[in-house]
Amino acid sequence: MLANSQKVALQELHELASINRQSVLIEGPRGCGKTYLSNQYANLLNVQEFHSVPPKVGDIREALDKVTLIDTPVVLQIENLDLGVAGASYTLLKSLEEPLPHVYIVITCRNAEAVPDTIISRSAVVNVGPPTLDDLDRYGIEKDRLKYSNVSSRLVWQCVRSFGEADEVLEMSPDEINYYESLSETCRFSDSVSNAVWKIGHYDSNKECNVELAIRSIAELMHKPFITKCSIDCVRDLDKGRIAPHAVLSKFVFNAKYGE
Amino acid sequence: MISIQDLGLSIMSDSPKPLYVVGGQEYGIKDKYIKTLTTHYGSKEEYPSVSAVVDFMSVKHLVPVPPAVYIVRYDETFVSAIDAKLAERIRKLRVNGTIFCVYDDPKHLAKIDKFLPDCTATIDAVNPKFVEKYLHDDFPKLDDRSIRIATNCAVSYGHARTICASMQYADPTTLANMSESALSFLFGCSNAAQEADIQRAIAGRNFNSAIKLLESYEGNLDNLVYTVLQTMIELEKCITSKYATSSLRDYSKFWTLEDVYNMFMNAYAELDELRSNTSTDVKSSLIYLFGLFTFRHVPSVEVMSNVS
């Protein structure tokens, strides 16, 4: 299924594939389908070999070394380059400047500002927007119609903002779905911060929950402008992916309890 | 899927269920439940697969089978074979005892949970409070300090239990004479020991001591920013709840809730800055943070951002 938010990006990728562009940078928020589009680019190029590489210097170096040993076309997807250290970007530079004829590099990132200019100037940049609510509904129906019909009216589905989260919600057990609605009890913040963080961050079965969904659920349940502001602030931090989710959750609880 | 609490209550009750399917990384708790069931029935038997136990139970025996706990580990054939029919057959099976299936990867449990939700549970992270409680029950002779060290050094309850078991065999006088840092170091947790010292220096608002410890710290300095955050969370707990147990309780008198909040927010802002800007020096950030608690009232993030 192709989301509305991905249609323009796919059209751009189609044009880039037609000119055999070897380095592409796809920028978009978490869960907008960057990996899906990278795969589509490989399909448009008619390349069978597709490898995803984390943004670590060692992994990138190893992948680039391996592709020199083969001569079949290959697409290397460097995932979320902006989350890696600067060294990861510099490792890529030489391959972008003098690409091997059979190697295509697709870089994905959430924030192009955090990617060195030298990488951006050597790549064709494609932007993808976040999925719309309509996209998410259509995705849910296509993935699991029965489960979607059970969760579509629930709070947790209304807090979903990405395809990744939609997948997660569709896999949730009924207890886990109910959990997000029961957060109204924890929202009173009468507990200490550490207890509140533990309660919010874990399902009753002690399994860790999705912090981002929990924070959005609390904001929806409480309907207070200050809490909404705190939640937006924390969700933005989570989206950057630089700080551990439980540290972000602690900040949210601290702010909600003492910040006003 | 049932919760870890319901699983524990069911296993420790007088009539455990005929089947439990337990997944997750916390092997210590699984082992504890197997021991509980073994004590309850008086014997345990290991079987290679669930189907082997089901076949054994389906046959009529001339001599009645004594009650036992039947342990089946990592049976992937059961995961692929489970469907509504097999689940119904298992439900109707008259097991003289309990079948206890163990898995590591929670993915294995997803399918089983679909058909047998009332006997499937996953045990991954156990709250350190529960770990301490379990260790107190398992090792009644060990003091609070030893239990706390084991909890802090261990990555899981199973690991903590091994540490406690080794401490139980040590000479009590020698153990009592060793410092908390020395014991943590002994159990391969030197950074944790140093972090505990730094945590106390922060909680005591002792700038000189914090700087000295920072100079000698051997671990990743990034972790210390998280240590500052953790210290503030602990102090907030001590200030807001008089019943909360914490090694930092004595230091809470040096802090007000406003100071704790401001210190947490400053540490968080520094962490964000460190993660956003690769040219920022972690050590300088930590010295800046330690400097903040030397003020009588810790300045807020807004004040400090205006200063810089």
Task: pLDDT tens for chain A, 260 residues: list them.
Answer: 677 778 888 999 999 999 989 999 999 888 888 998 999 999 999 998 899 888 888 888 888 888 888 888 999 999 888 877 777 778 888 888 888 888 999 999 888 887 888 888 888 999 998 888 888 999 899 888 999 998 999 999 999 988 888 999 999 988 899 999 888 776 677 788 888 888 888 887 778 889 999 999 999 888 889 989 999 999 988 887 778 899 999 999 999 888 87
The total of other beta-carbon atoms located within 10 Å of residue A116's CB is: 15
Q: Give CA–CA dist B71/B114, Å, rounded.
A: 21
The residue-averaged pLDDT of B158-172 equals 88
Residue B279: its pLDDT value, please? 67
Residue of B nearest to A172 (CA): B110
For A62, residues 6+ apart whose C-beta sits below 8 A from its C-beta are none
ipTM above 0.90, yes or no: no
Measured between CB atoms, which of B125, B236, B271 is closest to A192?
B236
A71, A145 Cβ separation under 8 angstroms: no
**B262-300 CB burial, b ≥16 within 10 A, e <16:** bbbbbbbbbbbebbeeeeeebeebbeebbebbeeeebbe
Residue A19: its pLDDT value, please? 92
Please check whether residue B258 touches A, CB under 8 A: yes
Residue B93: its pLDDT value, please? 82
- Max Cα–Cα distance, chain B, nearest Å: 87
A102, A64 Cβ separation under 8 angstroms: no
Residue type, B42: G
Show which of A127, A153, A175 is a domain's final residue. Answer: A127
Two structure tokens written together for A178: 């109910």
A112: domain CATH number is 3.40.50.300
Show which of A95, A127, A159 is a domain's final residue. Answer: A127
Residue B143: its pLDDT value, please? 85
The verdict on A183 and A254 lying in the same domain is yes
Residue B278: its pLDDT value, please? 62
Residues from chain A contacting residue B229 (CB–CB below 8 Å):
247, 250
Residue type, B61: H
**For B30-48, how does the pLDDT look when each residue is reduced to its tens digit (9 = 90+)?**
888 888 899 988 888 888 8
B99, B19 Cβ separation under 8 angstroms: yes
Please check whether residue A240 touches B, CB under 8 A: yes
Show which of A74, A102, A127 is a domain's final residue. Answer: A127
What is the count of residue pairs from A and B with beta carbons less than 8 Å apart? 77
The total of other beta-carbon atoms located within 10 Å of residue B159's CB is: 18
Residues from chain A contacting residue B257 (CB–CB below 8 Å):
258
For B146, residues 6+ apart whose C-beta sits below 8 A from its C-beta are B139, B164, B167, B175, B183
Model's pTM, two decimal places? 0.65
The closest alpha carbon to B286, from B184, B212, B234, belongs to B212
Residues from chain B contacting residue A173 (CB–CB below 8 Å):
1, 113, 117
Task: Return the CATH number of the domain spanning residue range B189-300.
Answer: 1.20.272
The closest alpha carbon to B67, from B10, B120, B14, B2, belongs to B14
Q: DSSP per residue over chain B, as a string?
A: ---HHHHHHHHHSSS--SEEEEESS-HHHHHHHHHHHHHHHS-EEEES-HHHHHHHHHS--SSPPPPEEEEEES-HHHHHH--HHHHHHHHH---SEEEEEE-S-HHHHHHHHHH-GGGEEE-----HHHHHHHHHHH-TTS-HHHHHHHHHH-SSHHHHHHHHHHHHTS-HHHHHHS-HHHHHHHTT-HHHHHHHHHHHHHHTT-HHHHHHHHHH--S-HHHHHHHHHHHHHHHHHHHH-TT---TTGGGGGG--HHHHHHHHHHHHHHHHHHHH-TTS-HHHHHHHHHHHTTSSSPPPHHHHHHH-
Two structure tokens written together for B254: 């040096």
Residue A248: its pLDDT value, please? 94
Question: How does residue B288 score in pLDDT terms, banded at 50, 70 and 90?
Answer: very high
Residues from chain B contacting residue A198 (CB–CB below 8 Å):
127
**More confident: B275 or B254:** B254
The residue-averaged pLDDT of B225-250 equals 88
Q: Give CA–CA dist A19/B218, Å, rounded.
A: 53
B41, B15 Cβ separation under 8 angstroms: no
The verdict on A139 and A252 lying in the same domain is yes
The total of other beta-carbon atoms located within 10 Å of residue A96's CB is: 18
The verdict on A139 and A52 lying in the same domain is no
CB contact under 8 A, A171 and B110: yes
A108, A71 Cβ separation under 8 angstroms: no
Please check whether residue A244 touches B, CB under 8 A: yes
Question: Can you name the residues that pair with A26 across neighbouring β-strands?
Answer: A108, A126
Domain that holds residue A203: 133-259
Domain ranges of chain B: 4-122, 127-188, 189-300
The H or E element spanning position A184 is helix A183-186
Task: Map tokens 């342990």 to a residue.
Answer: B71
Would you call A26 helix, strand, or coil by DSSP?
strand
The closest alpha carbon to A170, from A199, A145, A198, belongs to A145
The total of structural domains in chain A comes to 2
The verdict on A98 and A211 lying in the same domain is no
Q: Which fold has domain B4-122?
A: Rossmann fold (3.40.50)
Residue A104: its pLDDT value, please? 92
The verdict on A8 and A96 lying in the same domain is yes
The verdict on A48 and A89 lying in the same domain is yes
CB contact under 8 A, A202 and B258: no
Residue B307: its pLDDT value, please? 67
CB contact under 8 A, A254 and B271: no
The total of other beta-carbon atoms located within 10 Å of residue B187's CB is: 20
Measured between CB atoms, which of B241, B257, B271 is closest to A243?
B271
pLDDT above 80 (res B283): yes
Q: Give CA–CA dist B42/B57, Å, rounded.
A: 18
Angstroms from A193 CA to nearest CA on chain B: 6
Would you call A32 helix, strand, or coil by DSSP?
coil
Cα dist from A51 to A19, A33, B11, B184, whole Å: 22, 16, 46, 42
Residue B3: its pLDDT value, please? 82
The H or E element spanning position A163 is helix A163-171
pLDDT above 90 (res B287): yes
The verdict on A116 and A190 lying in the same domain is no
CB contact under 8 A, A192 and B237: yes
Q: DSSP per residue over A46-98, as a string?
A: T--EEEEE-S-HHHHHHHHHHHHT--S-EEEEETTGGGS-HHHHHHHHHHHHS
The residue-averaged pLDDT of B209-213 equals 90
Q: Give CA–CA dist B285/B271, Å, rounded.
A: 9
- The mean of the pLDDT values for chain B is 85
A30, A154 Cβ separation under 8 angstroms: no
Two structure tokens written together for B110: 């997803």
